[in-house]
């Protein structure tokens, strides 16, 4: 797996937000989740607290970087 880093330079802007992205589609913006999404117990899993979440299992096993999963959770909760 190749890690990719995207840098956004926004002089004078201290934060930005995401519009028109709901909890069920946010995971699709994290390519490292793709191989694990079908393993979740619930089709509408938000990968936050649902039992049987394959994304959380993959993160705990080291298949998804903890920093990326934490970033996902921060966006989900905002």
Digit-coded pLDDT (tens) for 21-57: 887 788 888 999 999 999 999 988 999 999 999 999 9
Cα 65 to Cα 8, 15, 48, 57, distances in angstroms = 20, 23, 15, 12
Provide CATH code, domain 23-77: 1.10.40.50
CB 21 within 8 A of CB 46: no
Q: Which tokens go with 51?
A: 């039992």
pLDDT confidence bin for 4, thresholds 50/70/90: confident
Q: Is the pLDDT of residue 77 over 80?
A: yes
Angle at 24 between CA 48 and CA 65, to 5 degrees: 50
| Alpha carbon distance 55, 60 (integer Å) | 9
């Amino acid at each position: 797996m190749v890690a990719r880093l995207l840098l956004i330079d926004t002089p004078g802007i201290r934060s930005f937000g995401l519009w028109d992205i709901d909890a069920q589609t946010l995971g699709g913006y994290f390519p490292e989740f793709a191989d694990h999404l079908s393993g979740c117990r619930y089709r509408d899993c938000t990968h936050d607290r649902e039992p049987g979440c394959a994304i959380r299992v993959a993160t705990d096993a080291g298949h998804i970087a903890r920093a990326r999963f934490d970033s996902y959770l921060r966006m989900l909760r905002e």
